Chains A and B, each alone.
Chain A
Amino acid sequence: MRKTRVFTALSLILVMLSSGCTHAEVEQVGGIFVEGQSGGDAETLNWILAADAASFSYVGHTLDTLANYNNQLEIHLLCLAKDVEVSPDGLVYTITIRDDLKWSDGSQVTAEDYVYTLKNLMFSDWLNYPYKNSWQEDVDGDTVFVTPEVVDDTTFTITRQTVDPEFVYIIYDLIPYPKYITTKYEGDVEAFTQAPELNNLTYTGNLGPYKFVEWIRNDRYVVERNPEYYLGKDSGAPYFERYVIKLFGTSATIQAALEAGDITYCGIEPDKVSKFKSLESINVYTVPTASYTLVGYNHRANGWEGLKKTTIRQALSMSIDKQVITDKVYLGFAEPAFSFIPMTSPWYTDEGIAKYGVEVLYDKQKAIELFYQAGYGKKRADGTMEIIDKDDRLLKLILVTTTGGGLAEDIAFLIKQELSDVGIEVELKLVPWETLVRNYLMNKVPGTDQESRYNNGPEAVSDEPWDLVLMGFGTDVLAPSGSGIFFTTEGGLNFFGYFNTEIDKLFKRVRSKEALDKEVRQQIYAEISRILSEEQPVDFLVFRRSNVGFQKNVKGIEPGISMGYNYYLWYFE
């Protein structure tokens, strides 16, 4: 369900907002809201099988999670009757759902449905739920599932054996399957995968603001207003007769459709923002995101050996101007990043952070000196220094990134230029995403029959050599400890090969009992950020802002990091 949370966090993509009940006199049902998307179609509406964000996005229109959060990052209750109660020892979570939740056959959605979904589906061996790890914990070296139990019709508990202060955010994303339907398919993965009720969302009752109508693959996903929606009893929401997701092949055509008035909403590229702002019919909003761009340094054996030295990584980061990337590539719709925690997160801190790439720590001359001091430079006759490799030759580094991402390519060329200024030749490799993953990111110990993974230990290397990789990552603003997978020794996505026992301990502590104290957790995050900013295992470049455009007659929009949290209250003027 972490995926759902990611979706919720990114639902800037869905954007909007409403101002609540104060406009009751003008909110009326009517109109078709068309959202333009160009990121590819969903995989399935049978959400437990999905591993892509689009699937959760589609399903989210018809099935609510237990809770989400608003732009101020305060919890907003959905299917919950009250917030999840956590026992003082941090081990037992008591969840109370509303008593007015119904399946399509009219029967009540109960705690039993939630517990059944967890125990019989998400934790089952036969179904292999892709994100089951979110519901597991390590106990004395064993990986075990948490224990859900029904208390009564509307209450259930989840018990852990170890403390994880951020586990509650996993619970908030929980969606139930209807036990009365799903039991028919239990144990038969093929039948479950192809079950018509589950693939056509015929069971969703009053659990979401909209009901499924049709899904034409690679074209559109259509849902219609659900007049029975449990959150619409008083307000009459949702207000759109239909909500349509229309897929486009390119951002150029999607933005043309917005300009022509053929769609209601879509994302806007930075270089098009000023144009759309000048249009009378469009409102453009700029909102923060939890997505960042970084340059990863290859610490593994097939990267240049200098990258294992902290001073060399600092020197490289010192040579790349983050303000130029912010201003010239993102046209101001980004802000320099110095850690994986965005400024919008309650866990962000500025204290003790080394800000490489801006102000005094953007210094190419100093960078050359650091190379020289580390043994990778020589002095010319005139006293100036130049960077060389250990064989006394021009230093050449390989920078790999994906093709097709216009901004990523712009940044790659800018980095090439910046490093060229200090005397480093950068060979750019622009490859498809699948190639990047298989040939550069996944690794294994040479000469073994290991299955390639993102982190097969310190001895593992990728098939193709690389030195720098330019990529985009995301952070959960409320639960950033998930980023441990990038920076810890055992981290599932630590393909850089950065290993630091101090960082390992800190990420472990942030998911321990002591971190139940928010001040302690804040200190731990500050320490992690400080070490990473100092050690520069990667060069955090920028946190991106997102631009979205709406037709002006859409009302109730309140821009923010979680703009879609109550989009069912949007309406046409």
Chain B
Amino acid sequence: MGKSWLRDYIIKRLIYAVIIAWGIVTITFVLVRVGPSSPADKYLANMAASGQDVSQITTAIEARYGVDKPIFEQYADYMVNLFQWDWGWSFSTSMPVIDLIKTHWIYSFQLILLSSLFAAFLGILIGIYSAVKQYTKIDYTATFLSFIGISIPNFWLGVMLILLFSVKLGLFKAYYDTTLPLFSLENLKALVLPVITLGTGMLAGYVRYTRSAMLDNLRKGFVTTARAKGLPERTVIGKHAFRNAILPLFTIIMFDLGSIVFGGAYLTEIVFGIPGLGQISFNAIFADDYPVVVAVTLIGTFLILMINLITDVAYTYLDPRIRYD
């Protein structure tokens, strides 16, 4: 049988994911469409300023984008098109939504991926070291810096990094350059400041969580037993204490990943001029560009559901006692 229960569990969760995604798309669609705003709103002042009949123009623009139809008709059209992989036309950017997302997802993805890796790797290392060296100068310094890291707003840190490393020292460009080849050292260099900006808060949090979880485990009996058996300290920390601390840490890391997927990277994208999905979705909301809003919500929802599923499945490997049957 192996882990056939796990396969059944994954299938069941995937079915749930589809149902939940459909529900969220429907709710988002309705909320966006029944609100008082219109895609014509942001142009009203311009139009009135040129002496236009605002209501007439609003009607015309709504007709141009098909938002003048009954909401059920719009919804039916949208869902049918969605299943045919036609995600609609973004009227705030004048291009197909699918092309818009294809162009921009990579900017968010690389930023989120590298920030998460940076934060998780360094945060866990520093956290472990801080726990092992509890109440030493290193521990105090790590704790102090962690609190600073948690408290600093992303956008402020980003601007400060630009002023220091770009303006004063001239080490980096002041903005992210999308003309650089994706897989190149230049691109990696261009991402250094944005990754530090987005990752610092997470890193500081991971230091605190890791330190706390490690201290908790280092005081437990099995660690004392391992030490009494004469195991090397590295093995005691790495194989015994850390192995038991990793489960809550993994949960937090995956939770953070889900949070930044849903717009957490927006401010960093704004500061460094990175045209990622955070910026795209934010602008679409204000432009009442519902095809983009719904599409980005759908993608975000699906990613979070998948992250949750991966987290749950990973638990069974990190702690074999966990079963879902």
Point out residues on A near B: beta carbons under 8 Å: 2-3, 40-41, 43-46, 49, 51-53, 128, 130-134, 189, 193-194, 199, 216-220, 246-250, 252-253, 256-257, 259-260, 262-263, 434, 437-438, 442, 451, 453-454, 474, 482, 485, 492-493
Q: List, sorted by A's number, 13 A–B pairs whose CB atoms are closer than 8 Å.
A: A3-B50, A51-B47, A194-B96, A216-B103, A216-B275, A217-B103, A249-B270, A249-B279, A250-B155, A256-B162, A454-B54, A474-B49, A485-B51
Contacts of B279 in A (CB 8 A): 218, 249
In the complex, B299 has a CB within 8 A of chain A: no
A137–B46 CA distance with the chains assembled, in angstroms: 19
Tell whether A130 pairs with B43 under 8 Å between CB atoms, given A217-B93, A218-B283.
yes
Q: Is the CB of B275 within 8 A of A492?
A: no
CB distance from B54 to the nearest CB of A (A): 5
Closest beta carbon of chain B to A121's beta carbon, Å: 14
Which residue among B36, B63, B167 has the maximum number of chain A CB atoms within 10 Å of its CB? B167
CB of A114, distance to nearest CB on chain B (Å)? 20
Q: Does A260 lie within 8 Å of B49, measured CB to CB? A: no
Residues of A within 8 A of B94 (CB): 43-46, 49, 193, 199
Residues of the B chain whose Cβ atoms lie less than 8 Å from the Cβ of A40: 283
Give the docked Cα–Cα distance between A133 and B95 (Å): 28
B27: interface (CB < 8 Å): no
Q: A246-B175, A262-B175 are in contact. Are A128 and B275 (CB under 8 A)?
A: no
Name A133's contact: one of B51, B61, B158, B272 (CB within 8 Å): B51
- A44–B91 Cα distance when bound, in Å, is 8
**Residue of A whose beta carbon sits closest to that of B274:** A219
Which of B51, B54, B163, B274 is in CB contact (< 8 Å) with A256? B163
Question: Within B143-199, which residues are at the interface with A (CB < 8 Å)?
Answer: 155, 158-159, 162-163, 166-167, 170, 173-175, 178
Decide yes or no: A41 and B93 within 8 Å by CB, A193-B64, A434-B37, A485-B48 being known contacts: yes
> Which A residues touch B57, using CB under 8 A?
128, 130
CA of A130 to CA of B45, assembled, Å: 12
A544 and B25 CA atoms in complex are apart in Å by: 46
In the assembled complex, B271 has its CB within 8 A of some CB on chain A:
yes
Number of A-B contacts (CB under 8 A): 159
Q: Apart from A44-B94, A132-B52, A217-B95, what 14 extra A-B contacts exist at CB < 8 Å?
A: A51-B43, A53-B46, A189-B64, A216-B103, A217-B100, A218-B283, A219-B274, A250-B270, A253-B162, A253-B174, A263-B174, A437-B45, A482-B50, A485-B50
| Contact present for A256 and B159 (CB under 8 Å) | yes
Residue positions of B touching A, CB distance < 8 A = 36-37, 41-55, 57-58, 60-61, 63-64, 89, 91-96, 100, 103-104, 155, 158-159, 162-163, 166-167, 170, 173-175, 178, 269-275, 279-280, 283, 286
> B271–A250 contact, CB under 8 A?
yes
Contact A249 B49 (CB under 8 A): no
Q: Are A257 and B175 in contact (CB under 8 A)?
A: yes
Contact A41 B283 (CB under 8 A): yes
Query: In the complex, A131→B47 CA distance in Å?
Result: 7
Nearest Cβ distance between residue A8 and chain B, in whole angstroms? Answer: 14
| B50 to chain A: closest residue by CB | A2
Q: How far is the CB of B285 from chain A (nearest CB, A)?
A: 11
| Smallest CB gap from A259: residue in B | B167
Bound together, the chains give a CA A132 to CA B89 distance in angstroms of 25
Instruction: Please pick, from A219, A257, A453, the residue contacting B275 in the complex, using a CB distance under 8 A.
Output: A219
Q: A41-B93, A219-B178, A485-B48 are in contact. Are A128 and B64 (CB under 8 A)?
A: yes
Task: Give chain A nearest CB distance to B14 CB in angstroms.
Answer: 32
Across the interface, which residues of B come within 8 angstroms of A451, CB to CB? 55, 58
A3–B155 CA distance with the chains assembled, in angstroms = 34
Q: How far is the CB of A17 from chain B (nearest CB, A)?
A: 26
CA distance A262 to B166 in the complex (A): 9
Inter-chain contacts of A53 with B (CB < 8 A): 46
Chain A, residue nearest B90 (CB): A217
Find out whether the CB atom of A130 lies under 8 angstroms from the CB atom of B280: no
Q: Which residues of A contact B54 (CB under 8 A)?
A: 453-454, 492
A140 to B: closest C-beta gap in Å: 19
Taking the nearest CB of chain A, how far is it from the CB of B72, in angstroms?
20
Task: Please name all residues of chain B whose beta carbon is closer than 8 Å to the beta carbon of A46 when the two chains form the complex.
Answer: 94
Beta-carbon contact of B51 and A218 below 8 Å: no
Contact flag A130-B52 (CB < 8 Å), given A193-B89, A216-B103: yes
A-B pairs, 7 with minimum CB distance: A249-B270, A128-B60, A51-B43, A219-B275, A257-B174, A44-B94, A451-B55
A219 and B166 CA atoms in complex are apart in Å by 19
Taking CB atoms, residues of chain A closer than 8 Å to B92 are: 43
Return the contact of A216 from the options B44, B55, B163, B178 (Cβ within 8 A): B178
A45 to B93, CA, bound (A): 9
A217 touches B280 (CB 8 A): yes
Q: Are A52 and B178 in contact (CB under 8 A)?
A: no
Q: Nearest B residue to A495 by beta-carbon distance?
A: B48
Residue of A nearest to B272 (CB): A253
| B280 and A260 within 8 A (CB) | no
CB <8 Å contact, B178 and A262? no
Of A220, A249, A257, A492, which contacts B51 at CB under 8 A? A492
Other-chain contact of A247, B42, B63, B273 (Cβ < 8 Å): B273
Known: A218-B275, A218-B283, A256-B159. A434 touches B55 (CB 8 A): no
Closest Cβ of chain B to A304, distance in Å, is: 25
- CA A378 – CA B215 in complex, angstroms? 73
Q: Cβ of A132: which chain B residues have Cβ within 8 Å of it? A: 52
Report the nearest A residue to B89, measured CB to CB: A194
A-chain residues with CB within 8 Å of residue B275 when the two chains form the complex: 216-219, 247
* Bound: A52/B286 CA distance, A: 14
Q: Is the CB of A253 within 8 A of B103?
A: no
